[in-house]
Structure 1
Amino acid sequence: MVQWGCIADDVTGATDLATNLVGQGLRTVVLFGPPEEDGTERPPAGARGPGAPGALDGLGDVDAVVIALKSRTAPVDRAVRQSLAAARLLEAVGCDRFYVKYCSTFDSTPAGNIGPVVDALMEHLGETVTIVVPSFPDAGRTVYLGHLFVGDDLLDESPMRDHPLTPMRDSSLPRLLAPQTSSEVAQITLPTVRSGPQALASALESLRTPGGRVAAVLDAITTDDLRTIMEGSRALRIVTGGSGLAQGLAPLENARARDITVRPGLRAVLCGSASQRTREQVAHARDRLPWRKLDPQVLRTAFDRAVADIVRWARELWASDESATPLVYSADSLADVVHDAPGRDAESSAELVERAIAAIARGFVDAGVTQLIVAGGESSGGVLAGLGVTRLRVGPEISAGVTWGAALTRGGALLNVALKSGNFGPVDMFTTAWRELGRTSGQEGKVSAK
């Protein structure tokens, strides 16, 4: 029976969560959405998305299912519709407990999408109390007195302050959440959490009021705090948080939870993220890997030629050295991030980059790439859609929140892929992550992701 049904607001967030679930011994599959809730969003052509007949076949040995949406910065009504469709799908496979995953830096605006999605799911599931826990101590995200820290910095003093889509100009989670939710926002601070699971459970139960709905922001600065929170919230049907909250689950004894099939072959790295950590990773890799940088202006005027030139360049690299790992990326600094004028009819620069990376990925896989790292949530979603991937079986961890997985492309080819959130992963990830694939026990061949 599937123990947990999880809804994530982007592709890399889904794999972040999945790797933490697998780390606790839960056999986990990621399904790439969105479900076909109203006919406006459909799986890639030729692929079976989560809402298609038969898409849930073969989940008999799975402990957790994560549905990856692309809803973090989507219009609020679309994010809500997709999340509700995902919940109905998870209910159909027997899920009784639900996990709403958002970014550990609480990426949102006063309009949403965190608050509206959580409100809608609480109403749908008939729950009146939930928890809000973006803390992920292993990745440097902690909450104290309701304030979110990124490393040693308050959220509004971190690089997230200038995020191009969701600039975070406050660190107080209650203040950030209140404008975007119709629920009452409560706060449970560290002394209550540190008093133990029973004290926390009592504090949560005391928040229930007839006809009311409460979202409680909880302090957490260590993984032990997350364990207390997950134990103390066992009576709740729905929990919400960053991917780190899954590290608080009681571990299952399952030595093979991380086993995946590994297919040797050509390698490549594709980066659409402009986050600070990804830029650091690109700077490190540029000194060690052959690279090409995408230019949005060139893509706008000669898209097909620019993509073809990069694929041809990579093929020439592999022809002379099969061990070569080409790096294709979009930003060295924030100066490379193009803020297009609002209201223009043409594709934005970010959309062009996303589409180019997806097209390059198809060209690389056609050339024989079997192991691929993709950095950035939007880029990861585009790559998977372009390749027709609808399921990912989660495997060995690269670092906190980053994992290798095994998937089948639309054409039936086995692909090992690591999908990285922009701010995650070690600086040397693009040159060292491949080692983890050599340590898994899987053998070459087809994988059913079940």
Structure 2
Amino acid sequence: MTNQRYHGIAMRIRIITDDFTSALDGTACFAGHGWDTAVLVQPEGTGTAEVVSLDTNSREFTPELDHHAVANAAHTWRDADVLTLQFDSTLRGRVARDCSTALAASGRRKLLIAPAFPSAGRTVEEGRVLVDGVPVHETAFGKDPTLPVRESSIPALFRAHSIEVKVARDVAHAGALLEVHDAVVVDARTEAELDTIATTFAGARDLLLAGSTGLLRGLARVLPRPHSAQVARVGYRDSASACMRTARRPWLVVGSLNPQSRRQLVIAQAQCRVNVLATGESRLPAGVAPQAALRDLVLQVVNLVGSGACDGLVVTGGETARRIIDALPTVSLRVCREIMPGVPLAEVQTATGTFPMITKAGGFGDDDALLTCINALTGAKP
């Protein structure tokens, strides 16, 4: 494995992800460091920015089925300086299948898997994903109403798809294993360890990187800021400040049924006055999503935005956020910065105007996370 060092040279960083909130938070960390970023929600879209993320919307596809958007993106972006497959830090979705698909379509020889996101409590130890020290399948994510996590071990998860993954205890061990094996997962307990992984392997042109937002945040921290961002720094500040506009009529939209998001909702409502739309908490049979309730919620949001009754959104739940963007006459989507690790602020431009939107995955953040998002949107002091 060899990598390149970039000194002021424009790089092309391409991110294939399976969920809308992931697409946003995976680029927010780069935007915060001055990179030119873009988020695509249509597979046929093209991106000329330095950092481009595509939401393939594949998380809830069954693992047995091919997903052409993943393969097409990996093939189209096969010559990118850094090619990353981003997946959920708690292993929800088609992690093994999408990694296998992207690796084959990209033509790259090796796969390095780094799922850790330490600042969000997700670590990798002996090849297992832990949440606050507990194997992820033993946490609330194991009882997720739509995508329950059944396995914490990366090798076991991939073995079910006939892919052998070796476990590396650190970066040096990962490099040695990649010399003789095709797929390696590397342990990481701290942000510093993720930074070392990013520093060591970014730019290895025969390598597909796969991981959560934690890995992308590491890449954003260690890769040298592009020359274009350095010479246009004033313009960047002006662009970022445009996303600092406050909302006077914000709405909190809770589409996630994760117990953590529901605790966050209760605390937010107790601490501030905010309009709320939320799907019901009734449990449905395994594999059945509350589609009717979600459609109704999305329609209400579109009507609120269109009527001017809403000038800012905080949305928790990736599918909910994606459905809202699809239903609005969205012209463009610009990621501005992170409110907290893995929680981005974006500016949504529609045919009738622009508004700020903060998105958060259902299980992310402490109990005050939604309250923090609302305060950031309104400019209120915590």
Pairwise same-fold verdict (TM > 0.5): yes
Of 275, 282, 297, the residue aligned with 1:326 is: 275
Shift of the 23–77 alpha-carbon distance from structure 1 to 2, 3 Å rule, reads farther
Deviation at 1:167, TM superposition (A): 2.3
TM-score normalized by the length of structure 2? 0.84
Using the TM superposition, give the Cα deviation of residue 124 of structure 1 relative to its aligned residue in structure 2, in angstroms.
1.6
Q: Which amino acid aligns with 1:226?
A: L
Q: Is this contact kept in 2: 1:377–1:420, CA < 8 A?
A: yes
> Per the alignment, in what secondary structure is the counterpart of residue 348 of structure 2?
strand
Within 5 Å, which residues of 2 pair with 1:50-449? 51=44, 55-56=45-46, 59=48, 62-76=49-63, 80-90=67-77, 95-108=80-93, 113-180=94-161, 182-189=162-169, 192-193=170-171, 195=172, 200-207=174-181, 214-234=182-202, 235=204, 236-249=206-219, 250-253=222-225, 256=236, 259=240, 261-262=242-243, 263=245, 264-288=247-271, 325-331=274-280, 336-339=282-285, 350-368=290-308, 369-389=310-330, 391-409=332-350, 411-437=351-377
Question: In structure 2, what is the Cα distance between the partners aligned to 1:119 and 1:386?
Answer: 32
The structure-2 alpha-carbon separation of the partners of 1:219 and 1:420, relative to structure 1 and needing over 3 Å to count, comes to same
CA distance 1:251–1:97, shift in 2 (3 Å): closer
- Secondary structure of residue in 2 paired with 1:287: helix
Rounded Cα–Cα distance in structure 1 between residues aligned with 2:301 and 2:378? 22
Asked if the contact 2:155–2:164 (Cα under 8 Å) also holds between the matched residues in 1, the reply is no
Is the 1:406–1:417 Cα contact (8 Å) retained in structure 2?
Answer: yes
Instruction: Provide the secondary structure at the position in 1 that maps to 2:145.
Output: coil
Q: Judge which range, 262-271 or 353-362, deviates more.
A: 262-271
Residue 184 (structure 1) shift? 2.4
Cα shift at 1:388: 3.2
Unpaired runs of at least 5, structure 2: 1-9
Cα RMSD for the two superposed structures: 2.5
CA–CA distance in structure 2, aligned partners of residues 251 and 435 of structure 1: 31
**1:284 to partner: Cα distance:** 0.7
Given that residues 113 and 185 in structure 2 are in contact (C-alpha distance below 8 angstroms), is that contact kept between their aligned partners in structure 1? yes
Report SS of the residue matched to 2:330: coil
* Structure 2 residue identity aligned to 1:423: G
Partner secondary structure for residue 142 of structure 2: helix
1:204–1:391 Cα change, 3 Å? farther
Question: How many matched pairs?
Answer: 354
Q: How far did residue 201 of structure 1 move? A: 3.0
Q: Which one-letter code corresponds to 1:167 in the other structure?
A: P
Gaps of 5+ in 1: 36-50, 208-213, 291-324, 343-347, 440-450
1:11 maps to amino acid: F
Q: 1:389 Cα deviation (Å)?
A: 2.7
Structure 1: distance between partners of 2:329 and 2:41? 10
1:13 aligns with 2:36: no
Kept after mapping to 1: 8 A contact 2:74/2:103: no
Distance 1:30 1:217 in 2: 27
1:35-46 counterparts in 2 under 5 A?
35=43
CA distance in 2, matches of 1:260, 1:124: 39
AA matched with 2:295 = R
What secondary structure does 1:229 align onto?
Answer: helix
Is the 8 Å Cα contact of residues 32 and 69 (structure 1) preserved in structure 2?
yes
8 Å CA contact 1:204, 1:233 repeated in 2: no
Between the aligned partners of 1:117 and 1:279, the Cα distance in structure 2 is 30
Return the alpha-carbon distance in structure 1 between the equivalents of residues 332 and 217 of structure 2: 23
Per-residue CA deviation, residues 67-113 of structure 1 (Å, 9 max, x unaligned), is 1121112134765211122234546xx734311011001114xxxx2
* Alpha-carbon distance, 1:331 to partner: 4.4
Q: Structure 2 counterpart of 1:220, which letter? A: A
CA deviations on 1:216-265 (whole Å, 9 max, x unpaired) are 11101111111121222232431101110012221444564781524544
Q: CA 1:66 to 1:152, structure 2 compared with 1: closer, same or farther past 3 Å? A: same
Identity across matched positions, percent:
25
Is the CA contact 2:118–2:190 (under 8 Å) kept in the aligned structure 1? yes
Tell me the CA shift for residue 435 of structure 1.
Answer: 4.2
- Sort the Cα spacing of 1:78 and 1:23 in 2 relative to 1 into closer, same or farther, 3 A: farther
Q: 1:15: Cα distance to partner?
A: 1.4
| 8 A contact 1:396–1:436 mirrored in 2 | no
The answer to whether the 8 Å contact 1:354/1:378 transfers is: no
With 78-87 and 133-142 compared, the bigger mean Cα shift is at 78-87
Higher Rg? 1
Deviations 1:177-227 (A, max 9, x none): 2102x43221112xx33x5xxx643432232xxxxxx22111011111111
